[in-house]
A and B are shown apart, each in its own frame.
Chain A
Amino acid sequence: MHQLKQYSVAETLEKDLGDPLDPNNIMSFKQVVDIDETEEFPHSQIEWLYNWKLQHYYVPAECGGEFTSFEEFVAFVRVLSRRDQTIGIAFTTLFWSFITWMSGSDEQKQKLANYIKNEQGTMCLGYSEREHGSDLVGGDLTAKKVSGGYILNGEKWPINRATISGISYILAKTAPEGGAKCLTLFMVNKRELDPEKYYNLPKILTHGIRASDMSGIGFKDCFVPDSMRLKNEGDGLEIALKGFQITRTLCAAFSLGAADTALRTTLNFASKRIVYGKTVFDLPQPRQTLVDAFLDLLICDCETIGSARGFHVVPEQFSVWASVVKYFVTTQLETMINNVYVVLGSRFYMREEHDWGIFQKVLRDNSIISMFDGSTVVNLHALILQLRPLTKYRSRRKSNTMAEIQGRLETIFSLEKPLPTFTPTELELFGRGIDDPLQGLEIALQQLEDLKQTSDLDEQVLENLLQLGNLVLEELDNHDQLIANSKFEYGHDQSPELFEIAKKYCNLHAAAACLHMWLYNRTILGDFFAKGEWLVLSLHRLLRTIRHLPYCLSEIYVENTAQELLKLYKEDKLFSIVPFQLAQSQSPEDKPYATSGLQLKA
């Protein structure tokens, strides 16, 4: 396999964090479970990450940091989250800084970059309020214009890191009469406020991520200077919605990390536990369950890595793509974790047994991911409002449109191709019906046809892929016909049926992403990837939720996939289409970097 340089930061971080099964390591499963039990914020782990200088990767290169690509970012957030989502999420609230990189003045950007890089600065997002949930325009926190600034009054809740963070992005109402332009966004620096005029709300006790600083913030006649206002008065909602397009896509990295650990710790059990004279892994039903879980990870990888790269190429399409990723990846992996716990048996529920009880913690922590930064319902609703333009655009494609889509798909999905710099100013509130992965499906099918001429592919695999690919197209055509003939309504009273239709759209989107990913990277991601048997199984898995298909297409493909899963597990490699090297499990005496104090970058 080629060494893709965008994965080297993640690999180095992995190596320096060390084997999570070694209790002495700073983010070992033992340590993070202990932290969870105390429910106290993981200050020393966060400090370790700052000393490692991970925060530099949250500041774009053009603002003086090291961030260059979302693909790289997703890989290292995955590394954090496979050890502990609590720490992963706590550190990654830094990513809200993208609001400033996107909409701040040069001065605001410079100040923030310095604060993050040199002062271990961190931030949180104060959008939601106790009484209003996802209804941002309905909020009650007000900002009244006075000479030189604004007076804030009101509370934001619940907010991750509301208490332990220096900067809060606060969405405040500047026009009491309401409407889309009634909100203004402030980058509130607590250090510059009168401490008598703001207060932190108490820690909220939660089901998972128990060691988080889940709290809130309140303001009472609190003066904030004009210099803390982002863009202009009334621009708050637009910035907020575009910011969500960025963070929703990246939430997938939290889920992918958690799912890796859920599967890995289950394999720790299933490959050693003997029942009825065999290991659990060797019994057909658990084996199929674990293979399906592996496929879920590969499918979500294609969707997530595709979107992370897509951000650099087609930012204007992300009102659609971000919703698809945020809904599909988080819920697919939530279900996957629920599926594998059956294989782990009752140990999934125990807080001390089996790998320090990491599974039950993953299960609890991970269940918030599909909810925050826009819930499943919010994302599907956003998609529902765009289904009609998507269908319309698809019906009007011409040959030049297809040529343009093909060019973009190649840059998005070819992992060896360099990416342009991300330009957040090109984000749009609605995508004008354009969605390259699904609208380029016919291109992928033509590429499959063309592969018939090459001899390196198994004919049966190719035949399967063509058949399944054409079923995806058939289902997409059916979808378009359904949408074209349906009555469109505005508002929030959308029918439950439409939510199911939107879910199906996401499913087809993932199938298309898998096809594109394979077609553009067949020769660079190793033999298992190249053979395409996993792709046959993945398309089959996605289509089976939509239409009646035979239970199993090929026992040989399943067996080969099971062998690959076992191989990655034994070699401590990530369960991924890019299976980079994880920290290797060794006995403690063999371990050269066993002390948690070591913070040097390799």
Chain B
Amino acid sequence: MWLIKQLAEQLSHDPSTIKVSEPLTRYGLDSIDAVTLVGDLEDWLDMKLPDTLFWDYPTIAKASQYLAENFDITGALDNLKAEELTTVVPNNKASENLAENKKGWGGLFGRFK
């Protein structure tokens, strides 16, 4: 259950304590955070999702079901491994450091590891 793992990391919770049927607001996520979380998910799956995803489907179970029925999640996950970070600006110190300091980004930046 990738969504549970990602949420657990984002919200600093033990994955085993997260229940798929509980509204996400129970885990300290308020309405605006839920929008930002869609951004992280989009980033991770590299696909555009509705920005009100977690408003319309406020539990992990409902959101997962919606995603599985409407998006090619398996395909997206397969594609993750192949991706690489490239930048447009050569000799851009910050970008290089940024790529080196991946750990600082937290869980959802995992695809750069």
Contacts and interface: CB of A to CB of B under 8 A. Distances in A.
B36 A385 contact: yes
A398 B94 CA distance: 15
A396 B58 contact: no
B1 interface: no
Nearest to A490: B33
A137 B88 contact: no
B87 to A, nearest CB: 6
A386 B86 CA distance: 21
Nearest to A476: B94
Given A179-B58, A433-B39, A137 B30 contact: yes
Given A429-B51, A430-B51, A484-B104, A181 B35 contact: no
A22 B38 CA distance: 56
B92 interface: yes
Given A389-B39, A490-B29, A396 B11 contact: no
A485 B104 contact: yes
Given A395-B98, A480-B98, A402 B32 contact: no
Interface in B12-48: 23, 25, 28-39, 42-43, 48
A453 interface: no
Report the 6 A-B pairs with minimum CB-CB distance, sorted nearest first. A477-B94, A180-B31, A485-B104, A180-B55, A490-B33, A429-B51
Interface string A28-59: 00000000000000000000000000000000
A430 B101 contact: no
22 contacts: A137-B30, A179-B25, A180-B31, A180-B52, A385-B32, A385-B36, A389-B36, A389-B43, A392-B109, A402-B88, A476-B94, A477-B93, A480-B95, A480-B98, A481-B97, A484-B104, A487-B104, A487-B106, A490-B11, A490-B28, A490-B37, A491-B33
B82 interface: no
A479 to B, nearest CB: 8
Interface in A381-440: 382, 385-386, 388-389, 391-392, 395-399, 401-402, 428-430, 432-433
Interface residues of B, number: 42
Nearest to A485: B104
A395 B85 contact: yes
Contacts of B38: 430
A282 interface: no
A488 B34 CA distance: 14
A5 interface: no
Contact of A238 (B28, B29, B48, B52): B52
Given A181-B55, A430-B51, 15 more contacts: A137-B30, A178-B25, A179-B55, A180-B34, A389-B36, A395-B99, A397-B87, A397-B89, A398-B88, A399-B88, A429-B35, A432-B39, A432-B48, A477-B95, A478-B94
A577 B56 CA distance: 45
Contacts of A478: 94
A429 B87 contact: no
A1 B74 CA distance: 59
Interface string B44-66: 00001001101110100000000
Contact of A385 (B11, B33, B88, B105): B33
A399 B98 CA distance: 19
User: Which of B32, B52, B93 has the most A CB atoms < 10 Å from its CB?
Assistant: B32
A491 B34 contact: no
Given A395-B95, A490-B28, A238 B55 contact: yes
B36 to A, nearest CB: 5
A495 interface: no
Interface of B: 10-11, 23, 25, 28-39, 42-43, 48, 51-52, 54-56, 58, 85-89, 92-95, 97-99, 101, 104-106, 109
Nearest to A431: B39
A275 B41 CA distance: 65
Contact of B36 (A137, A477, A480, A490): A490
Contacts of A178: 25
A237 interface: yes
A401 B98 contact: no
A442 interface: yes
A430 B36 contact: yes
Contacts of B85: 395-396
Contact of A480 (B33, B35, B48, B94): B94
Contacts of B29: 490-491
Contacts of A388: 105
Given A490-B11, A490-B28, A401 B88 contact: yes
B31 A488 contact: no
A432 B98 contact: no
Given A395-B99, A402-B88, A484-B104, A237 B31 contact: yes
Contact of A181 (B37, B56, B92): B56
Given A181-B55, A237-B31, A480-B98, A398 B36 contact: no
Nearest to A442: B89
Contacts of B94: 395, 476-478, 480-481
Contacts of B88: 397-399, 401-402, 442
Interface string A456-497: 000000000000000000001110110011111011100000
Interface in A216-239: 237-238
Contact of B87 (A385, A395, A476): A395
B32 A382 contact: yes
Nearest to B85: A396
Contact of A430 (B39, B86, B98, B99): B39
B21 to A, nearest CB: 15
A386 B36 CA distance: 7
A137 B104 contact: no
Nearest to A432: B39
Nearest to A388: B105
User: Which of A398, A430, A433 has the most B CB atoms < 10 Å from its CB?
Assistant: A430
A179 B23 contact: yes
A145 B82 CA distance: 51
A383 to B, nearest CB: 12
A486 B23 contact: no
A132 to B, nearest CB: 13
B52 A429 contact: yes
Contact of B30 (A238, A391, A492): A492
